[in-house]
Structure 1
Amino acid sequence: MSRQLITFQLGDQVLGVDIMAIREIRAWSPATPLPNVPAHVRGVVNLRGVVLPVLDLRHRLGWGVTDPSARHVIIVVRIGEQLQGLIVDAVNDIVSVAPDAMQPLPDMGETTAAQFLEGLATIDQRLILVLSLDRLVDASAALPEAA
């Protein structure tokens, strides 16, 4: 049985996340910073009375820091029992991925981005990095601090 992914951009990379985890896609709004949180947590936003953390996905994956602008969006996802926001450059589309189109990650050692990926999907000659949302918030998956 195929599964559906929402695909989105982070720079030139196309990533995907299971559509069942998506709660909403909203325009960028500045997050209120919090003290003593990991560097990839940009702060919190109020979503109709629910305060949710906003993660800089680019920073979490070790690809630099996002300088959010009005063209960025926040994808609100459910991870476990909590809603979280992910800052991405743009949302692309919904794709169906057949089980045989999913590939495991090649062994590249413990690279920063690879530890947050579930696998790779090939759709219409495009390679989509499929995120593992549970690993994004796993405290044991720590990134080296930026110098």
Structure 2
Amino acid sequence: MTKTAFADAHAPQTEVHAEPSDSIDTMYLTFPIGTELYGVSIGVVTEIVGLQRIMSVPDVPRYIKGVINLRGKVIPLMDVRLRFGMPEKAYDDRTVVIVLQVSDAPVGLIVDGVNEVLDIPASQIDRTHSFSGAEGRSLVMGLGRLEERVAILLDVNLLVEDDALMPPATVEA
């Protein structure tokens, strides 16, 4: 397992760089939410930015905190704690936004902080279907076995699958 730390995850903007690996498919950006460690595939992460002014948007689910304007791109923000039904926590100097590119659209995840990029080979990931919901789908893609911990690896497509995050469809006359 290879660890790659970020230069300064709390700086206003940090580009994502990982050590060379046999495959980017085994690289995961890990971050804490409460006491648990979560991970998303590094292949969909575009950058990590500090929390900035959030513009609220009416009539969206509670976990959609609003949007930010990041260098001219409007990016919807999801508070992962609220998405998971956890208690809300005041944002602090460790809170960051992980910007993902999912289905050709940027989405920001507000998380408690970031840890590191880990190389977790498929042989160390337990894929489980026991977490599936009523529709047979789960936000948990697998459980990455680390030395003394487990990282809950998320399916970002299902995590952000929500009409509230999608840009409005273009209406043709």
| Alignment TM class, shorter chain as reference | 0.7 to 0.9
- For the residues of structure 2 that align with 1:17 and 1:70, how far apart are their CA atoms? 22
Which of 96, 108, 111 is equivalent to 1:85?
108
TM-score, length of structure 1 as denominator length: 0.86
Pair 120,54 (structure 1): closer, same or farther in 2 beyond 3 Å: same
Cα shift readout 1:95-129 (whole Å, capped 9, x = no counterpart): 11111111023625639xx8211110011121000
Q: TM-score, normalised by structure 2?
A: 0.73
Greater share of strand residues, 1 or 2? Answer: 1
Please name the residue that 2:6 is paired with.
none
Amino acid at match of 1:68: Y
Rounded to whole Å, the distance in 2 between the matches of 1:45 and 1:124 is: 37
Distance 2:158 2:57 in 1: 22
What fraction of aligned residue pairs are identical, expressed as a percent?
30
TM-aligned CA distance change 1:136 to 1:68, over 3 Å: same
Gaps of 5+ in 1: 141-147
Any gaps of 5 or more consecutive residues in structure 2? 1-21, 164-173
Alignment-derived partner of residue 59 in structure 1: 82
Larger radius of gyration: 2
Task: Quote the RMSD (CA, aligned, Å).
Answer: 1.9
One-letter amino acid of the structure 1 residue matched with residue 80 of structure 2: L
- What is the count of residue pairs matched by the alignment? 138
Check conservation: 1:7, 1:17, Cα contact below 8 A: yes
On the 8 A contact 1:59/1:66 being kept in 2, the answer is no
